[in-house]
Structure 1
C-alpha cells in the first residue's frame, strides 16, 4: 500500500473508476464526470492533485485537490460545488487513511482546506481523526445551509398536500390565470436532448433578474457529461413558443438535485418559476421515483416551502501544528479570511 499523487487523469489507474462509481451513489458531485469537469475550469495558476492510496493495482482512496500559489491545498471544487468528500474503498479503511495522511504530511503544504463538506460524513470524519492523530490541528467552519426533502415514499399528490396552503393556492391560481390569458406549454428534456435545448435556458437566464451566466462553458460541458449518463433534466415553460422559465435539475441514484433555475422577470406576476418547480417535483417524485430532492445551496426563504429539512455545510481545515506557539491560531485566522472572500 502506497501514497501516490497524480496530476493528470491519464495517470490514474483504471481501477479508480470503481471508486468513482461507488461514490456517485452518494452524490453525483462525487462522480468522475463532475471532478473531470471541475478540473477543466481551473485558473492558470491552479493545478490538480489527486492524492491517492494504491494497493497493488487497486485504488483505495482518492482525495481530489487543487493547489495555487502558497502552501495550502484546496478541495478540487468550483463555485457551483455543493458538496465535497473523500472517496474511500470499503476495505482496510484505517490502514488506508493512515497511509493517506502520511503521504499528505510529506507534501509541501502547511494546510488543507476542504469544502463544502457534510456535518456527518464518515469518510471525512475518519480522515479528520487520522490527521489529528498525526499531529494536524483540525477545525470545522460553517459555510452555508442546505434545504432538502425526504420523499419517504410519498406520491406527488401526498407531497403537495403537505405544502403550505399559500403555496398550493398560488400555483393553482397562477396556472389558471396564465392559461386563460396567454396559454402555456411545459417541455421536459432529458438525455442527449438537453444540450441542444441549452440556448433556450440561456435565453431565459439572460432575461431574468440574475446576471448573465458567467460560467456558461463550465455548465455546458457539465450538462454534456451528465446528459451522457442520463442524469440531466431540463424543463422549460413556453408561452407562444417563447421560453419564459427554465430549470436544470440532475437526477441519479435516487436523488434529484435542483441545480439552476430562472424565469423571465417580465412574467413574474404569473409565477412561472413556481409553476415549473411544481411540474418537476411531480416528475421526479412520480416518474423518477427519487428518495431525496436537494436544493443544494442557500437559505432562501422560499425553499422552506418546498423542502422538509435543513442541514449545514462546513469547511474542514487541517493545519500542520509543528510550528511555534501561536502560529496555528494565526494560520486558522488566515483561513477564515480566505473563506470570507469566497
Structure 2
C-alpha cells in the first residue's frame, strides 16, 4: 500500500457507503458491534433523524479507512455516537499495519479541513491508547490542533485465557458473594438466557424496564432492531430472571470475538428485596465466561458504583477535539476546550497506567514536541 495513491470519497447516504464497502463493514468482518455500518445507520436514524450523515472513506489498493460522522451546521462535526455507544473509532479494511492506518486516516483528516473547523470524537475508550494515539497523530499530521480530555470512566473485566467462572467469582468482594448466597437461598429466581428473539420476549424486556427505576428516554425500537440483528448473527444473550411466575429482571448482552458486552439491564422494583438483578448477573457472567469463553467483559459507559463489585478495572473515556485554527470561528471553542483540559487535575487518569492526561495531556496536545 505504501506506493498506492490514496483516493478519498465522501458519502451523504448509507446506501452509497454500503455499496462502496462491499460487505467489509458488516458482521464478523469488523471487530465489534460498534464498528458495523448497520450500527451507524440505525443509530443515525434514531439519534440524528434530521441530519445528513458525513461518511468518509480513504482507499489505497485494497486497504480502506472509514469515518462515520454527522453534524457541522453551526456546530462541530461529531462521530455518530450517543449513550448506546461504548466507543467510537475509525473502521479499517485490509489495513493491519499502523503505518497504513495512519496514512489513510491522515488523508481523511486532511479532507475534513475543507469541511469544518471543529471535529469532536467521543467516547474513545481504548485501554492501551492505540486508537486515541492513532487518531490524534493523523489529525496532527493533517494540521489540526488536537486537544484530548478524559470525560468519564467505565468498567472493564479482563480474564486470563481458560479462567473459569468459579475462579472469577471467588475473587469478587465478600459482600457481593454473601448477598447472592442469601438471596438465592431465600428467594431464588429462575433464569432463562435466550439466543433468539421474538415479540413475546421483547415485550417482557420492555415491561421490566417500565417497572424499574430506570428513567424514561430509551429508544426501544432501536434496541429491538439491534437485538434482532445480533440474534440473527448468533451473538445475542438476553437474560430473564423469573420470580413468583413474573419477570423480575432482564439483561441484554451480546458476545463476539472473545468479548461480552453488557448493553442494558433492569429489574422490577416490586422484587427489589430478592436482588433479582444480582442473581441474574451471576448467571449471565457464568454464561459469558464458561460457555462463551469471553476473555473480556465490557460494562458499557459510566462508572456506576454497583459495577465495581463485578469489575475491578476502570478505563478512561476520552474525547478528542480537533480545531482548524485557520478559521477564526474555531478560536473561541478551541480556547474554551483547552482551558477545560487544563482544569483536569494531573493524574485524573491515575486509576490506569498509560499516557498522560489532565494538564500534561492538554499541554502536550497544544504544543506537541
- Deviation, 1:161, is 0.6
Change (3 A) 1:14 1:51: closer
User: Per the alignment, in what secondary structure is the counterpart of residue 247 of structure 1?
Assistant: strand
Contact kept, 8 Å, 1:20 with 1:87, in 2: the verdict is no
Separation of aligned partners in 2, 1:283 and 1:39: 32
Separation of aligned partners in 1, 2:142 and 2:51: 27
- Deviation, 1:327, is 5.4
1:276-315 residue CA offsets vs partner (Å, 9 max, x unmatched): 0001011111000101111111111221111131110111
The 5-angstrom pairing of residues 114-133 of structure 1 reads 114-119=121-126, 120-133=128-141
1:139-172 residue CA offsets vs partner (Å, 9 max, x unmatched): 1122221111112132111111111111111101
- Deviation, 1:212, is 3.6
Note if 1:49 corresponds to 2:54.
yes
- Deviation, 1:271, is 0.6
> Which sections of structure 2, spanning at least 5 residues, go unmatched?
1-5, 341-369
Structure 1 segments of 4 or more deviating over 4 A? Answer: 19-23, 334-337
Among 292, 301, 304, the alignment partner of 2:305 is 301
Contact kept, 8 Å, 1:189 with 1:235, in 2: the verdict is yes
Note if 1:292 corresponds to 2:296.
yes
Among 156, 163, 166, the alignment partner of 2:175 is 166
The 5-angstrom pairing of residues 19-98 of structure 1 reads 19=25, 24-25=30-31, 27-55=32-60, 58=62, 60-88=64-92, 89-90=95-96, 92-98=100-106
Contact kept, 8 Å, 2:118 with 2:330, in 1: the verdict is no
Structure number with higher strand proportion: 1
Separation of aligned partners in 2, 1:335 and 1:248: 38
Note if 1:186 corresponds to 2:195.
no
Contact kept, 8 Å, 1:52 with 1:60, in 2: the verdict is yes
Separation of aligned partners in 2, 1:162 and 1:130: 41
- Deviation, 1:121, is 4.3
TM-score by length of 1: 0.88
Among 109, 112, 120, the alignment partner of 2:119 is 112
Contact kept, 8 Å, 1:52 with 1:59, in 2: the verdict is no
User: Per the alignment, in what secondary structure is the counterpart of residue 181 of structure 2?
Assistant: helix
Among 170, 177, 187, the alignment partner of 2:186 is 177
Note if 1:99 corresponds to 2:99.
no
Which is worse superposed, 247-256 or 46-55?
A: 46-55
Contact kept, 8 Å, 1:195 with 1:220, in 2: the verdict is no
User: Per the alignment, in what secondary structure is the counterpart of residue 80 of structure 1?
Assistant: coil
Contact kept, 8 Å, 1:83 with 1:118, in 2: the verdict is yes
Separation of aligned partners in 2, 1:311 and 1:124: 13
Separation of aligned partners in 1, 2:149 and 2:298: 22
- Deviation, 1:98, is 2.9
Change (3 A) 1:93 1:104: same
> Which sections of structure 1, spanning at least 5 residues, go unmatched?
338-342
Contact kept, 8 Å, 1:208 with 1:265, in 2: the verdict is yes
Separation of aligned partners in 1, 2:214 and 2:142: 46
Among 316, 320, 325, the alignment partner of 1:321 is 325
Change (3 A) 1:23 1:104: farther
Contact kept, 8 Å, 1:245 with 1:272, in 2: the verdict is yes
1:24-73 residue CA offsets vs partner (Å, 9 max, x unmatched): 32x321123322221221434322111111235x4611011011531421
Among 192, 199, 202, the alignment partner of 1:198 is 202
Q: Specify the alignment match of 1:222 in structure 2.
A: 226
Q: Specify the alignment match of 2:336 in structure 1.
A: 333
Contact kept, 8 Å, 1:195 with 1:224, in 2: the verdict is no
TM-score by length of 2: 0.82
Separation of aligned partners in 1, 2:175 and 2:33: 33
- Deviation, 1:195, is 5.6
Separation of aligned partners in 1, 2:38 and 2:168: 32
- Deviation, 1:86, is 0.8
Note if 1:263 corresponds to 2:264.
no
User: Per the alignment, in what secondary structure is the counterpart of residue 29 of structure 1?
Assistant: helix
Change (3 A) 1:282 1:2: same
